[in-house]
Structure 1
Amino acid sequence: MKVVCSPVGIVEHRRPRGGLEKLGQSGFAETVVDFGLFAGGFAGKKRRAEAEAHWQEWADRYVEEAKRQGVLLGLAFAPHFESEQKIPDSEELEIRLAEICIQKSAQYSIDMLVVRSLVGGSYAENFAKNREYFLRLGRMAQSAKVRLLVVNSYRNINGHLVRGFCGEPAQAVAFVDEINAALGAEVLGFCLDAGVCNLIGINMYDFVTALGARLQAVILRENDGVHDDSLLPFSSAHGGGSRMDWLNFIRGLRAVHFSGVAVLDFRTTLTALSGLLRPAMLSFAHKVAEYLTWQVQMEECLRRYPSRVLFGAGNMCRAYMKCYGEEFPPLYTCDNNPQVWGTEFCGLSVHAPEDLRSLPEDCAIFICNIYYEEIERQLRDMGLKNPIERFNDEFMPSFHFERLESDAWKEQVKE
């Protein structure tokens, strides 16, 4: 999984240099081209041609500056207009801009374009309208060698949010497959908006696993399940936990071995902050992105190495053996406590750290202890060249409630 940062709330569309620099300084090497960032001025029909010219000019300037700074661009978003914006002929405008976005994406060498569905009409009317819309765009995208991604949506019925177009797994899968079958190629994929799933109460594990390989991108944003906000993940807390079901979302991404693009969108968090605080928030957001990548790719990391040993004979080691011991069996575990050397823990023999010197260099050492930095420094000071990874799976495939009782462990050591 590759986490990129949305520019909304960070980059000023007329003067993109400063915002893009802040992204790079925070550790984000890649962002997206959100064409909606430049879509101001369309409310008045008289000056729409002028607004469209500015829109394309600002998009070109943004891409040019990103390339100058070495910021990668691998995904784009077409503009989408909400009914509250009261833009005349908004649907006709949205279709036209989406077609231009396909051409621009090809011009910028961007592989994927996210396009939101059209709204309005009954269920049958809406489905027919979007089928025609995505077939039309799909033919253009096929010629331009750009992959389209449709997004799950919701409908607002008198303030009550319900599932909209492609808002549930079965419809999303059927729609993507039908469009691709009609086009005779894999032109359409899916972008799953985690925030929408939370607003309408969809099980994200079921949605992700149903999509499977169709899932090419995800939008990482949090809300409280009531308001359509884009908050930094884990920031909408209540009762000691997040209001988002990140557990099932991350488990789902693991289950399908997701390797696509994850767009971190926290525009609501940023706009609530003083401009003086935003650089610090960006740095923290990068830490969140690293954490999410680590957790989603936990199994991929274990699978990467031909052999592995653990460092630590405690609860984290127990968690590893409970969830991964059978599929990715370690050679042994080791510990700094000399009292446990030569004993057995969770079916593993416990070794002294010095025994690690005899490992082949391609054998990875997984630290199962919260003192990651200290232990990694210890291992490097020993002159070990082995890959060193950190294990702390907070989204394990199954829960278990066995904890290491210190007294029982002491008794085992004595024996």
Structure 2
Amino acid sequence: MLEIGVQTKEAVSDENPQAGFEMLREAGFACVDFSLNGYLLNTDIYENRLNRFFDASIAELESFFAPHKAGAQKAGIRIHQMHMPYPIYVPSGTREVNEYLWQKMAPKSMELCAYLGCHYIVIHGFKLARELGREDLEWAQTEKFIHYLAPMAKEMGITLCVENLYTSLGGHMVEGPCCNARKAAERIERINEQYGAEVLGFCFDTGHANLVGLDMEEFITTLGPGLKVLHIHDNDGITDLHQVPYTFARTRENTSSTDWAGFLRGLRNIKYRGVLNFETAPVLTAFPREMHLETLKFIARIGAYWSKEIVQ
């Protein structure tokens, strides 16, 4: 059976992290996606507001997260993946903000990833296609960032994972960075060969794929072994809602908004043996706290069902 994971956001608190990890274990999860992006919010970054969380020294940051590390270990939960705060570059941002993201936030995120025993960290590629005019020029800027962190990644045994993103154009959701599976697979192979290590991989995001109409089976099959981690969540095809799979329908006959059958076929095609990780933190804010455990159990049961469908 494949391991099932979920975000720590909304489930694990800084005040008593062990209780949150124990709840996740009771719900049926073996792994977590550590929500480091919750400590420097994208809404603040876009507004040129920095809370200076990453001004702290590595020793101070490790001390802050020591209860999380201990709580996860005591609960028998593995910190499998992490989400670096994003964006990593703001075209309209101040020099101070962009330098802070590169020089402090990013390398310290890598240090924390290693401290927590995590081997995968998800990053967002640069959204610069409109400014630069071409996707390859956009990717070149993302690759500069990857090369900046790649030596650390190799030394620490961490794989940076880019994910398929969307962007908004005239009120419509359109493809953003990393929405071409063939190019992604080629770039991952090339960069890993350059470093002689798996410094780069891919995070497939089901919600983003649904928003821009990617063929999930084809995309995952094309990625093949380059696919390392997943962000699994559902939406209505219009807004990035991060809800429970099978939540939305396109017809009264309940045809699912998201092609979950194609998603599973893709994972089966490549013999995926990684973690089925759910990026569904907003679901917990929709339910009363007294229902969080049961809600998480339901999500974990979907993962267990999918595991049987994938591993046949």
In terms of mean alpha carbon deviation, does 261-270 or 132-141 score higher?
Answer: 261-270
CA RMSD of aligned residues (A): 2.5
Residue aligning to 1:103: 111
The Cα of 1:191 is off from its aligned counterpart by: 1.1
8 Å CA contact 1:219–1:264 kept in 2: the answer is yes
* Cα shift readout 1:1-27 (whole Å, capped 9, x = no counterpart): 322111122222343233222212212
SS in 2 for 1:13: coil
Normalised to the residue count of structure 2, the TM-score between the two structures is: 0.85
SS in 2 for 1:148: strand
Residue aligning to 1:133: 145
Structure-2 separation of matches of 1:257 and 1:128? 31
The Cα of 1:210 is off from its aligned counterpart by: 0.4
8 Å CA contact 1:38–1:58 kept in 2: the answer is no
8 Å CA contact 1:33–1:63 kept in 2: the answer is no
Residue aligning to 1:152: 164
Residue aligning to 1:368: none
Distance 1:291 1:182, change over 3 A: same
8 Å CA contact 1:148–1:189 kept in 2: the answer is yes
Alignment map for 1:106-125 (pairs within 5 Å): 106-120=114-128, 121-122=131-132, 123-125=135-137
Structure-2 separation of matches of 1:155 and 1:52? 32
8 Å CA contact 1:38–1:59 kept in 2: the answer is no
In terms of mean alpha carbon deviation, does 248-257 or 287-296 score higher?
Answer: 287-296
The Cα of 1:274 is off from its aligned counterpart by: 1.6
Q: Residue type of the partner of 1:288?
A: I
Identity over aligned residues, as a percent? 25
The Cα of 1:71 is off from its aligned counterpart by: 1.7
Identify unmatched segments of 5+ residues in structure 1. 300-415
Alignment map for 1:6-405 (pairs within 5 Å): 6-39=7-40, 44-45=49-50, 48=52, 52=56, 57-81=63-87, 89-95=96-102, 96-120=104-128, 121-122=131-132, 123-238=135-250, 239=252, 240-297=254-311, 299=312
8 Å CA contact 1:153–1:196 kept in 2: the answer is yes
Q: When you count helix as a share of all residues, which structure comes out higher?
A: 2
Distance 1:15 1:118, change over 3 A: farther
Structure-1 separation of matches of 2:246 and 2:116? 34
The Cα of 1:202 is off from its aligned counterpart by: 0.4
8 Å CA contact 1:149–1:189 kept in 2: the answer is yes
Structure-1 separation of matches of 2:56 and 2:81? 21
* Cα shift readout 1:333-373 (whole Å, capped 9, x = no counterpart): xxxxxxxxxxxxxxxxxxxxxxxxxxxxxxxxxxxxxxxxx
* Cα shift readout 1:110-140 (whole Å, capped 9, x = no counterpart): 2222222233332344222111111111121
Structure-1 separation of matches of 2:62 and 2:141? 27
8 Å CA contact 2:10–2:281 kept in 1: the answer is yes
Identify unmatched segments of 5+ residues in structure 2. none
Q: Residue type of the partner of 2:107?
A: E
The number of aligned residues is 296
List structure 1 segments (4+ residues) > 4 angstroms apart after TM superposition: 40-45, 49-57, 86-90
8 Å CA contact 1:135–1:183 kept in 2: the answer is no
The Cα of 1:295 is off from its aligned counterpart by: 1.2
* Cα shift readout 1:169-190 (whole Å, capped 9, x = no counterpart): 1221232123223324332111
Structure-2 separation of matches of 1:49 and 1:80? 14
8 Å CA contact 1:39–1:55 kept in 2: the answer is no
Distance 1:38 1:7, change over 3 A: same
Q: Residue type of the partner of 1:149?
A: C
Q: Residue type of the partner of 1:111?
A: H
SS in 2 for 1:224: coil
